[in-house]
Amino acid sequence: MRLIAESSETAKGFKPLILPHHAPKNLFGAGARSARRSGVGEDFFSYREYGFGDDARQIDWRHSARSDEIFIREHERLLPHHVYLDCDTSPAMQFNSRGNLPTKAYAAQRLLLAAAQLLMQGESKVSSLRAGRMHKNNFAELTQQLCAAHENLPSLPKMNPRSFILLAGDFRQGAKIWKSFISRAYDMNVLGICIQMLDPIEHEFPFYGRIRLESVEEQEIIIIPNSDIVRPLYLDRMAREQSEMQRLCERHGWRWLSLTTDMPPRMQLGKFLELFTYARDIGNE
Partner 1 sequence: MSDTLLGKINLQSPEYFWLLLVVPLLWWLLRLIPPDAVRRRFPSLRLLQNLPRLRPQTAFTPLWLLILRGAIMILFVLGFTSPIWSSGDIDLPPPDQPIMLLIDNCWSAVPNFQALRDKALSILEPLPPEQNIAVLVTCPATADPMISQGVVPVPRARALIHRIKLQDETADWARLLHAMQTLELAPIANVTFVSSGLIYHDDLARLLQELSAYDQVAIALPPESLLPVILSPATDRQKIRVEVQRFTDIGTSVYNIITRDKNGYILTLDKIQIPDGKRSESMALSIPPEALEEISTLQIPNMGMTAQLSWNPPEIPARIGLVANNLVNSFTNPNRYLNAALTDKTQLVINNWPALLEQNLPVIISAVPELPTEQLNAIAAWLQQGGRLIRFAGLEVPSNPDQLLPGRPMEMLYHLNEQFLYPEPLGLAAFPPDSPFQNLRFHFSPHFYQHWLINAVDLSDKRIWANYADQTPMILSKTVGQGESLLITTPPTPSGGNWIFSGAFPAMLEKMIARPTNALTNIKTVIETDQITVLNKNNIPDNIAITDLNNIQARIMLAPYIFILAILLWLADQALIITRFAGLIRAEK
Question: Which CA distances in Å does 187 have to 158, 183, 230, 252?
Answer: 11, 6, 40, 9
Closest separation in Å from C-beta 146 to partner 1: 20
Rule CB under 8 A: is residue 196 a binding residue for partner 1? no
79, 92, 153, 263: which one binds partner 1 (CB under 8 A): 92
Shortest gap between Cβ of 90 and partner 1 (angstroms)?
10
Calpha distance 84→107 (Å, rounded) = 18
47 binds partner 1 (CB under 8 A): no
Q: Considering only CA atoms, which of 83, 110, 77, 85 is closest in space to residue 19?
A: 83
**What's the closest the beta carbon of residue 171 comes to partner 1, in angstroms?**
11
Residue 97 binding partner 1, by CB under 8 A: yes
Of 140 and 221, CB closest to partner 1: 221
Q: Closest CB to partner 1 among 188 and 230?
A: 230
The answer to the question of residue 98 lying near partner 1 (CB under 8 A) is: yes
Please give the residues from 198 up to 257 whose contact with partner 1 meets the rule CB under 8 A.
Answer: 198-202, 204, 206-217, 220, 222-226, 229-230, 233-234, 237-238, 241
176 binds partner 1 (CB under 8 A): no
Residues forming contacts to partner 1 in the complex (CB under 8 A) are 92, 95, 97-98, 104, 170, 172, 198-202, 204, 206-217, 220, 222-226, 229-230, 233-234, 237-238, 241
